[in-house]
Copies of this chain bind each other. A is one copy, B any other.
């Protein structure tokens, strides 16, 4: 394959006055005054390659270029490469269904998803996933430094985590099985052993409706920590988000520039009780019953209210008992509400979390209140029967967080291969 013994140079690392060997795809080809200008794309960026005479190179041809670099202020990036040899490594059989050489890809979301392998070649489309990768990396590295152990729990479960609705059935030998809606119960029992754990994994919701913010499968960034209280949890997520955004700045700076986004910065994140949030919304004409959760319209309005005060994020706390799952810890000072929270980011819920019941008797009583059969939760309950630390945790939806950060109007823009009522391919 190699036509020279030179090591490969990434296009971003080309300096003027070097012999180079480049490898990448042809983004564009343009003939002008006897010269041919090729824009070559590799994982690090793009560079202009110049050659003489006739060149039979379609867009997306994969090539190896050897040549010499030189400064040229007319070239994008200020450096171009004069090719002395171009070897075709792969020649396309068909043309792309859209033009990926424009700054913005002019194609519908439907088309972008139908041709995912090809739309991802557009730098703006790919940039979203470079940001998601930096967020996930920042999440894990910060929590590892905080003493958390990474776990991988099973996604094939025998019982619904939080009741029956929204489950996908799996044909399992000899018995019914389901896809897990969350690693909730597993991460809790792991707290009894590792005290602090996190998991990055797929979770499943068999959603009958189709919205811009729901998917049947998404990536959940899960945390669960022992010996903590509600304020400690909010502190933990505040520091974690800061680390995740710093990871974006450090590792996906180019992607951030491509998408022209400003990263939120904050010293602290405001904390407001749900009842107060409702009072604020009522002042804007939006009213809720005491036991109700906010709906998306309320979240958006609350997001605008806090945006006006300069806040991208807001923690909403103390949700009523009926709005939370059986394991949510009621506030001892006000048992009608739980020590729980949602995090809104620019008006969209990106995290749900809270303190959990750790007392065995209280947990069993609450399961009865939620009409759950304790016999279906043996492996979970025995952790509590034998003693569990006070604990709490939360889960961040990676695609939602990414979508909000890049300003996407639909979560599918931030999902590599989205799954919903209508889409199972590619």
What is the interface of chain A, defined by CB distance below 8 A to chain B? 1, 8, 10, 23-25, 42-44, 58, 60-62, 89-96, 114-118, 120-121, 125-126, 129-130, 132-133, 136-137, 140-141, 144, 147, 149-159, 168-175, 177, 179, 186, 189-190, 192-196, 200-202, 204, 206, 216-217, 219, 226-227, 229, 251, 358-361, 378-380, 382-383, 385-390, 398, 416-419, 421, 424-426
A200 to B125, CA, bound (A): 22
Do residues A417 and B186 form an inter-chain contact, with CB atoms below 8 A? yes
A150 to B201, CA, bound (A): 13
Do residues A117 and B389 form an inter-chain contact, with CB atoms below 8 A? no
A330, chain B: closest CB distance, angstroms: 15
Out of B23, B126, B156, B226, which one reaches A194, CB within 8 Å? B126
Contacts of A155 in B (CB 8 A): 155, 202, 217
Q: Which residue of B lies closest to A154 (CB)?
A: B417
Q: Are A43 and B425 CB-contacts (below 8 A) given A154-B417, A386-B60, A419-B156?
A: no
Out of B150, B192, B202, B386, which one reaches A94, CB within 8 Å? B386
Contacts of A90 in B (CB 8 A): 358-360, 387-390
A308 to B360, CA, bound (A): 54
A286 to B120, CA, bound (A): 49
Do residues A379 and B201 form an inter-chain contact, with CB atoms below 8 A? no
Do residues A385 and B94 form an inter-chain contact, with CB atoms below 8 A? yes
Do residues A120 and B389 form an inter-chain contact, with CB atoms below 8 A? no
Residue from A24, A174, A386 whose CB has the most chain B CB atoms within 10 Å: A386
Q: Which residue of B lies closest to A382 (CB)?
A: B117
A25 to B193, CA, bound (A): 10
Contacts of A132 in B (CB 8 A): 150, 152
Out of B62, B216, B378, B426, which one reaches A387, CB within 8 Å? B62
A258 to B388, CA, bound (A): 24
Contacts of A25 in B (CB 8 A): 192, 387, 389
Do residues B426 and A378 form an inter-chain contact, with CB atoms below 8 A? yes
A389 to B61, CA, bound (A): 9
* Interface of A: prevailing SS: mixed
Q: Are A152 and B94 CB-contacts (below 8 A) given A120-B192, A227-B23?
A: no
Which 4 pairs, one residue from A and one from B, show the smallest C-beta to C-beta distance? A379-B426, A120-B193, A43-B195, A117-B383
Do residues B416 and A152 form an inter-chain contact, with CB atoms below 8 A? yes
- 9 extra A-B contacts, CB within 8 A, seeds A120-B192, A201-B201: A42-B195, A43-B226, A90-B388, A93-B361, A93-B385, A133-B149, A156-B419, A168-B171, A379-B426
A58 to B387, CA, bound (A): 10
Do residues B129 and A149 form an inter-chain contact, with CB atoms below 8 A? yes
Contacts of A151 in B (CB 8 A): 129, 133, 416
A25 to B92, CA, bound (A): 63
A372, chain B: closest CB distance, angstroms: 15
Do residues B387 and A43 form an inter-chain contact, with CB atoms below 8 A? no
Do residues B130 and A149 form an inter-chain contact, with CB atoms below 8 A? yes
Do residues A177 and B93 form an inter-chain contact, with CB atoms below 8 A? no
Contacts of A194 in B (CB 8 A): 43, 120, 126, 129-130
Contacts of A125 in B (CB 8 A): 193
A173 to B421, CA, bound (A): 6
A412, chain B: closest CB distance, angstroms: 12
Out of B177, B390, B417, B421, which one reaches A1, CB within 8 Å? B390
A426 to B386, CA, bound (A): 16
Q: Which residue of B lies closest to A147 (CB)?
A: B43
Q: Which residue of B lies closest to A364 (CB)?
A: B93
Do residues A170 and B172 form an inter-chain contact, with CB atoms below 8 A? no
Contacts of A172 in B (CB 8 A): 168, 424
Q: Are A189 and B117 CB-contacts (below 8 A) given A150-B136, A386-B94?
A: yes
Residue from A154, A179, A204, A251 whose CB has the most chain B CB atoms within 10 Å: A154
Do residues A387 and B91 form an inter-chain contact, with CB atoms below 8 A? yes
A354, chain B: closest CB distance, angstroms: 16
